[in-house]
Amino acid sequence: MVNLYPESILKLIQSFSQFPGIGKKTAERLSLYILHASSFEVQTLASNIIELKKKVKLCSICFALADNQTCQICSNQTRDKSAICVVENLADMAAIEKSGAFLGVYHILGGALSPLDGIGPDEIRIKELFLRAKNKNIKEIIIATGTHVEGEATASYISDNLKNTHIKISKIASGVPMGGDLKYVDQVTIQRAMYGRHKF
Ligand SMILES: [Zn+2]
C-alpha cells in the first residue's frame, strides 16, 4: 500500500493514537485538522500543551491539580476546612464536586491499599493525611474510597489509625454499588451517599 502521508504527518498521527480513546482514524482526522489550521491556532495549541506541563502541579495540601501552590478548593475561603473528604483519585473528587453535596476540602490518596500488588501505606498519601489530621481544627474525615476490596481495606486502615483522635470518622453511605468506582456513579446517588454518611 502506498503511504499517503509524509513523515511529519505520520509522526503526529502516531502521537495522537496514543491518547486514550483515540483510534487511528480519529488521530488521522486530528492531524489533518492541524495541518489545515492557521499558524496562530497551532501555536496556541502547542504553547497550551507546554504551559500545562510546566505549570500544573499538585496542591501542597490536598494533592489535586493546581496552577499555584494550593488548588482552587483549598484556597477558597468559603470551603469548610474542618471537613476532609478522602478519595482515591482526582476523578472521584470531580464526581463528588459535581454532585455539589460536599462543601469541605479533599485529600487525594493517589490510589488504594493493595498488598498483593505491593501497594502499602507508603505508596499512597496516607502519611500526609495523618499529618493533616493532627490539626486541631479538623473535625470530620469522610472516607469516600471505592467499594472494591482495596477501597474498603484503605478505609479500615485510615479509620483504625485515627480511632483515638478528636476527629469524627465517617464513611459515605451505601448506594454506591459494591465494586463501584465513584466516577461512574450518578450525581443523585453521590448526594445521597454523602448526606447519609455514617460513623465508621
Ligand atoms: Zn488542594
- The reported pTM is 0.77
> Which carries the bigger pLDDT value, residue 120 or residue 194?
120
Distance (Å, rounded) from C-alpha 12 to C-alpha 9? 5
Q: For residue 163, what is its C-alpha cell?
A: 480511632
pLDDT > 70? residue 190:
yes
How much distance in Å is there from the Cα of 39 to the middle of ligand 1? 36
How much distance in Å is there from the Cα of 190 to the middle of ligand 1? 21
Q: Give the model's confidence band at 16: pLDDT under 50 very low, under 70 low, under 90 confident, else very high.
A: very high
pLDDT > 60? residue 156:
yes
pLDDT > 90? residue 185:
no
- Provide the H-helix boundaries in the chain: 7-17, 24-36, 39-55, 90-99, 126-133, 149-161, 187-195
CATH 2.40.40.20 fits 7-55, yes or no: no
How much distance in Å is there from the Cα of 17 to the middle of ligand 1? 32
Distance (Å, rounded) from C-alpha 86 to C-alpha 154? 10
Which sequence spans correspond to the domains of the chain? 7-55, 67-199
Residues in the chain, total: 200
Q: What is the pLDDT of residue 2?
A: 61
Q: What architecture is the 67-199 domain classified under in CATH? A: 3-Layer(aba) Sandwich (3.40)
Q: What is the pLDDT of residues 70-125, one digit of tens each?
A: 999 999 999 999 999 999 999 999 999 998 999 999 999 999 999 889 999 999 99
pLDDT > 70? residue 176:
no
Range 157-166 average pLDDT: 93
How much distance in Å is there from the Cα of 75 to the middle of ligand 1? 7
